[in-house]
Amino acid sequence: MRPAAVIWQRRAAVLLVVLLSAAVRPAESTLYELANGDVFEGVMVDGLRHGEGRYTWATGAHYEGSFLNDKMHGKGKYTFVDGRVYEGDFVNDERHGQGVFRFDGDEYSGEFRNGVMTGAGEIRYKNGDVYKGDFVTGEPHGEGRFTWIESGRVYTGAFQRGQPHGLGAYTDPTGESYEGGFRTGSRHGFGELQLASGNRYRGEFANDRRHGLGEVLWLDGEKYRGEFVRDQYHGYVVVESRDKPPEIGRWRNGERIWRRPITAVDACKFTIDEAAWMFDGTDCVNGLAHGRGFAVRLDGHALIENARAILGQYVEGDIRMLSPSP
């Protein structure tokens, strides 16, 4: 090979190395000032923000992190004008994925979807309260656990739009606990309430009050079972004690109007589906209930205010249950 040819080949190889080095060299960060007052410092590729950079809006908000095709995309930190801060994942200019959001003294860490807190996460409020569980559009929604730091009360269960709603349970450091239904933050539906005194209530609730059918179990073994209205005995109530037969009474606004023992009346037998009842009526024929009267099942779980019987058999009358059931 001629010396001149060798020299030109060497020069070409050196030139190729130089060109390849220039091609792989990372683009340099540049400061860009836009006509609207915004400022971008970072890498531009074909006129688009791409890679790491910092964008500051004229309003004062700023973002520092990854860009892709002129959009916030990847890991980054966004600071709002009012001081709120988000740090985490971005997709196409929106908070999306895992992130931490600090706002108004509260701190949320967890999932974001399309710019809002949605998915599994935990929020610590500035007063110390903590919620951990499911979120939808920025609110507790789904299953979760809320702890009130000041009272020590804990609720675990279903949430809807930020409030206990559905089935759940709470405990209190005083010893009080409740498990059952909730509606918009209040006990509602069937539930069981354990009081700090040791007494228990099992039955229906409405708007955080005992309302409907329920039973109270006292520490001494006595049991009150029947109808409640706005947290008071109201209607028919059966009282069961350890040392005497059960008795039924009529109550109004927490005051008992009358009562009588529930006992079989041999001279006026009355049955429904082979279950024995006490029948208090004016007419009995051959030891069998006949005509109309007040009837109570001997176990105290049902009554008929105006029963009609023919020769001891039930004919008509509305049967009212006195036992709560979920």
Instruction: Write down the pTM of the prediction.
Output: 0.85
Strand 291-297 to 177-183 pairing:
unpaired
pLDDT band at 174 (very low <50, low <70, confident <90, very high): very high
Find, among 221, 196, 227, 245, the residue nearest to 305 by Cα: 227
Look at residue 160 in the predicted model and tell me its pLDDT: 98
pLDDT digits (tens, 9 = 90+) for 218-266: 999 999 999 999 999 999 999 999 888 899 999 999 999 999 999 998 8
Task: Please give the full DSSP string across 109-132, using - where no structure is assigned.
Answer: EEEEETTEEEEEEEEE-TTS-EEE
Look at residue 28 in the predicted model and tell me its pLDDT: 78
List, as own/partner pairs, every contact residues 38-47 make where C-beta atoms lie below 8 angstroms and the sequence separation is at least 24, other chains included.
42/67, 43/67
pLDDT band at 24 (very low <50, low <70, confident <90, very high): very low
d(C-alpha 304, C-alpha 296), whole Å = 6
What residues have CB less than 8 Å from 220, skipping those under 6 apart?
A: none
Task: Please give the full DSSP string across 214-243, using - where no structure is assigned.
Answer: EEEE-TTS-EEEEEEETTEEEEEEEEE-SS
Q: Is the pLDDT of residue 36 over 80?
A: yes
pLDDT digits (tens, 9 = 90+) for 261-308: 999 988 999 999 999 999 998 889 999 999 999 999 999 999 999 999
| Whether the Cβ atoms of residue 307 and residue 293 lie closer than 8 Å to each other | yes
Find, among 176, 179, 137, 177, the residue nearest to 160 by Cα: 137
Look at residue 7 in the predicted model and tell me its pLDDT: 36
Task: Please give the full DSSP string across 183-219, using - where no structure is assigned.
Answer: ETTEEEEEEEEE-TTS-EEEEEEETTEEEEEEEEE-T
pLDDT digits (tens, 9 = 90+) for 123-156: 999 999 999 999 999 999 999 999 999 999 999 9
C-alpha distances (whole Å) from 318 to each of 22, 235, 302, 314, 315 are 94, 15, 10, 11, 10
| Whether the Cβ atoms of residue 174 and residue 161 lie closer than 8 Å to each other | no
d(C-alpha 144, C-alpha 174), whole Å = 22
Residue 290 token pair: 């006949």
d(C-alpha 209, C-alpha 233), whole Å = 12
| Whether the Cβ atoms of residue 169 and residue 155 lie closer than 8 Å to each other | yes
